[in-house]
Amino acid sequence: MLKRDVMFSGGVDALLLLLLLLRSSPSLPLRCPPARCMSTTRRRIDHLTQSMAGVVQFCQCQPHRCPGLIGPSILDVDKCVLAQECQRSLTAGADYLHLDVMDGHFVPTISFGPSVIANLRASFPSVFLDVHMMVSEPEKFVAQVAVANATGSAGENLLQYLFHIETTEPRGKTQEVIDLVKANGMLVGLALNPATPIEEVLKYSEQVDTVLVMTVVPGKGGQSFMVDMMDKVSAVRQRHAGKFIEVDGGVKPATVEHAAKAGANMIVSGSGVYKAPDMAESISSMRRSVERHGNGLGESELSPLRRDADVAQAAPAAFVNRCVLAG
């Protein structure tokens, strides 16, 4: 039975939902309502069925083997102390850094460019950098971003170039950019906006290392996590059990469970990390959600819940890269 809290406008709808669930169970007899009520009841049940369809689809994915990874978005941190803020989140337990490059065209905001990425690489030689190119012509920046490439101690690639399919597919350049990113030695990710059907990305999903599902509209402030985007996450997870799937926009401890249940394993969070009252607790709780709902781990198997106080008391440790993409 569906285990999910759903709010309805009144007791009648709640009763009809119960009737709908009972009707779907062959082991439970259900007395039909009187004939005079049948048409109204049928309309209400059909309406509820349609409303519940999306919920049922992404309620819970099959357990997958992709690790839960938390990547703080540095977009809104104080750029005067950018390296310090990056280090603060890594010390608190972050697995990678999510870098939003915005050109002022694809989205109205201008953020930073390849030179900042190169500077961050110099400061963090062993950290996975997830570069999210929100630019109109991503092919123009591939070689410049590739300057920041690096290899981990186990030979893993530490740089990913994510671009939006909305910027390349209308120009017939999606395949060209995928090939160009790979030729420059980077991992490649394909992102899509909320209005873009997931089928556009699924045409190329076999070739990319990561699929990024945006859970807000890029470039617009004051938005909440779009839970209806989880159908897209589920569609990718159902097709690719080992694919890394990332969500970005409004994700924090209060909303991450939706993404984890749908099958996402890479969690981008800005305010959920940098504005959290306890950064280490926020990061570890989001990771544990992916492990619990995505990997199917039991309580005793989850990563430990950490708090800022624990981090402050612990001896400094070398950063351990967990971002070994195995799509």
**Residue 181 CB contacts under 8 Å (≥ 6 apart), including other chains:** 142, 161, 163, 187, 188
**Contact (CB, 8 A) for 200 and 192:** yes
**Contact (CB, 8 A) for 190 and 181:** no
b/e 181-216 (16+ beta carbons within 10 angstroms → b): bbebebbbbbbbbbebebeebbebbeebbbbbbbbb
Residues recognised as catalytic: 100, 248
Read off the pLDDT of residues 144-165 as tens digits, 9 standing for 90 and up: 999 999 999 999 999 999 999 9
**Contact (CB, 8 A) for 71 and 94:** yes
Query: Of the candidates 268, 293, 284, 160, which has an alpha carbon nearest to the alpha carbon of residue 216?
Result: 268
Kindly state the DSSP code that residue 187 receives in the 8-state scheme.
E
Q: Which token pair is 261?
A: 């249940």
pLDDT score recorded for residue 36: 42
Kindly state the DSSP code that residue 192 receives in the 8-state scheme.
E
The HSE-up count of residue 82 (CA atoms within 13 Å, CB side) is: 19
**Is this prediction's pTM over 0.85?**
no
Q: Evaluate the CA torsion angle 247, 253, 258, 264 in order and state its sign.
A: positive
Query: Of the candidates 224, 226, 157, 168, which has an alpha carbon nearest to the alpha carbon of residue 201?
Result: 168
CA–CA distance, 287 with 281 (Å, rounded to integer): 10
Domains observed in the chain: 11-58 (no CATH), 69-313 (3.20.20.70)
In 109-177, at which residue ranges do the beta strands (DSSP E only) sit? 128-134, 159-164
CA–CA distance, 263 with 247 (Å, rounded to integer): 10
Read off the pLDDT of residues 17-71 as tens digits, 9 standing for 90 and up: 444 444 444 444 434 344 444 444 444 444 434 444 444 344 577 899 999 999 9
Place of tokens 């309620």: 59
**Contact (CB, 8 A) for 301 and 274:** no
* Measured CA angle at 245 (ends 268, 153), to 5 deg: 80
Place of tokens 């759903």: 6
Read off the pLDDT of residues 56-98 as tens digits, 9 standing for 90 and up: 344 577 899 999 999 999 998 999 999 999 999 999 999 999 9
pLDDT band at 322 (very low <50, low <70, confident <90, very high): low
